[in-house]
Amino acid sequence: MGRADFASDSAAVRRAFRQHVSGSSGGWSNFRRHVSGLSGACSNFHGGAVLVGIVSGLLVTAAVLCSAPGANARSTFESPYGYARTWNAALRLVRVDNGWKVTEKDDANGYLLFDYKSPESGKTTPGSLELVRGSRPDSSVSVLVQLAQMPHYHEQVILDALSSKMRREYGDAPAPGSPVEPIDGGDGRAD
């Protein structure tokens, strides 16, 4: 086997690896078949076994890294409406608008745990919503949603719904640095 055959076999291994990583191959058996073909091609060269070992090690490492699940991502939204308004809107969105069961809530520490029911599959999974206050009372509030067992776009749909709900109920977002009116919209006196 000459250098041309070695080049075509290594190209076949690269193609098989790319197909395996993208999920459109015959699986590991197809990949192993191409790697074993490379082994035969390399035996005609000095140090072929070492080269096969290095290439195989690199391919296995790359396959493990590419197929390993990523860290649980969270979706975030910066709410300019203040903590109290954002908390109330988020709680109503979860409990009233979507009818999801709230399993735990703590408005002082800013978290809400709930059972998320997917509109697509009806599958119920745990979800969390966290509000993080800014350093100043008039700074924006970070809203973090996490649905660990669902695709990322489910989290983003919840944040988009919260943003839309707050715009509908409270009007346009206040300008950065401007004080946020109290929730009742009044001057604090009883009627």
CATH topology (fold) of 75-170: TATA-Binding Protein (3.30.310)
The Cα 90–Cα 143 span in angstroms is 9
Which pairing describes strands 111-117 and 101-106: parallel, antiparallel, or unpaired? antiparallel
185: left (phi over 0), alpha (psi -120 to 50) or beta: left
Domain boundaries, the chain: 3-67, 75-170
Which of 1-5, 80-84, 98-102, 111-115 is the least confident region?
Answer: 1-5
pLDDT tens for 13-70 read: 566 656 655 555 455 555 555 555 555 544 455 556 777 777 777 666 666 555 544 4
Question: Comparing C-alpha atoms, which of 157, 154, 153 is closest to residue 165?
Answer: 157
Instruction: Specify whether the CB–CB gap between 18 and 4 falls below 8 A.
Output: no
Q: Which residues contact 144 (CB under 8 A, 6 or more apart)?
A: 74, 75, 76, 128, 129, 130, 131, 132
